[in-house]
Chains A and B, each alone.
Chain A
Amino acid sequence: MAEFGPATRALLAGGGVNGHDDRALAQRICQACIKGLDIDGAAISLLTASVARETLWASDPVAELLEDLQFSLNEGACMQAAATGSPVLVPDLGEGTEMARWPIFASAVSERTPVRALFALPLQWGVTNLGVLDLYRTAPGALSKSQWRDALSAADMGALMLLHLRTDPGGIVSSHDGLERAWMNPSLGLHRAEIHQATGMVLVQLGVSAAEALARMRAHAFSQQRLLLEVAQDVVNRRLVFSEDMA
Chain B
Amino acid sequence: MSQSASREPMVSRALVSLADTLVDDYDIIDMLDRLVGYSVELLAADAAGLLLADPRGQLHLAAASSEDAGLMELMQLQAEQGPCVDCYTTKTPVSVPDLSKAADRWPRFVAAVAEQGAYASVHAIPLRLRSEAIGALNLLHRTPGSLPDEDLALGQALADMATIGILSERAIRRSEVVNEQLQTALSSRVIIEQAKGVLAQHSGLSMDAAFNQLRGYARAHNLRLSEVARQLAERRLDPARTTTPATRTERANPG
Contacts and interface: CB of A to CB of B under 8 A. Distances in A.
Interface of A: 1-2, 84-91, 97, 122, 124-127, 142, 148-149, 152-153, 186, 191-193, 196-205, 209-210, 236
B176 A126 contact: no
A202 B230 CA distance: 16
Contacts of B197: 196-204, 236
Contact of A200 (B55, B183, B188, B200): B200
Contacts of A87: 179-180, 183
Contact of B180 (A88, A142, A149, A153): A88
B91 to A, nearest CB: 15
A117 B81 CA distance: 38
Contact of A203 (B60, B61, B175, B235): B235
B193 A209 contact: no
B7 interface: no
A153 B197 CA distance: 27
12 contacts: A1-B58, A84-B184, A86-B187, A87-B180, A126-B193, A142-B176, A193-B72, A193-B76, A196-B191, A197-B193, A201-B197, A204-B201
A196 B194 contact: yes
A200 B195 contact: yes
B56 interface: yes
A148 B239 CA distance: 38
A86 B184 contact: yes
A204 B239 contact: yes
B179 A148 contact: yes
B174 interface: yes
Contact of B76 (A97, A127, A192, A201): A192
- Contact size class for B? 35 or more
A85 B234 contact: no
B34 interface: no
Interface in B151-204: 173-176, 179-181, 183-184, 187-188, 190-191, 193-202
Given A126-B233, A127-B230, A196 B193 contact: yes
Given A199-B197, A201-B198, A124 B179 contact: no
Contact of A89 (B176, B195, B200, B232): B176
Contacts of A210: 194, 233-234
A200 B196 contact: yes
B196 A126 contact: no
Contacts of A127: 191, 194, 230, 233-234
A197 B196 contact: yes
Contacts of B107: none
Given A191-B60, A204-B201, 6 more contacts: A86-B180, A142-B176, A149-B55, A193-B193, A210-B194, A210-B234
B70 interface: no
Contacts of A198: 197
B54 interface: yes
Given A97-B173, A126-B190, A203 B57 contact: no
B207 interface: yes
B193 A200 contact: yes
A85 B176 CA distance: 16
Nearest to B226: A85
B61 to A, nearest CB: 7
B57 to A, nearest CB: 5
Nearest to A196: B193
A114 to B, nearest CB: 21
B187 A204 contact: no
Contacts of A202: 197, 201
A153 B195 CA distance: 25
Nearest to A189: B76
Contacts of B235: 203, 209
A200 B214 CA distance: 13
Contacts of A197: 193-194, 196-197, 200, 207
A201 B187 contact: no
Nearest to B67: A193
Contact of B183 (A86, A191, A205): A86
A246 to B, nearest CB: 15
A197 B192 CA distance: 8
A204 B55 contact: no
B201 A201 contact: yes
A89 to B, nearest CB: 4
A206 to B, nearest CB: 10
A152 B187 contact: no
B207 A236 contact: yes
B180 A152 contact: no
Contacts of B188: 85
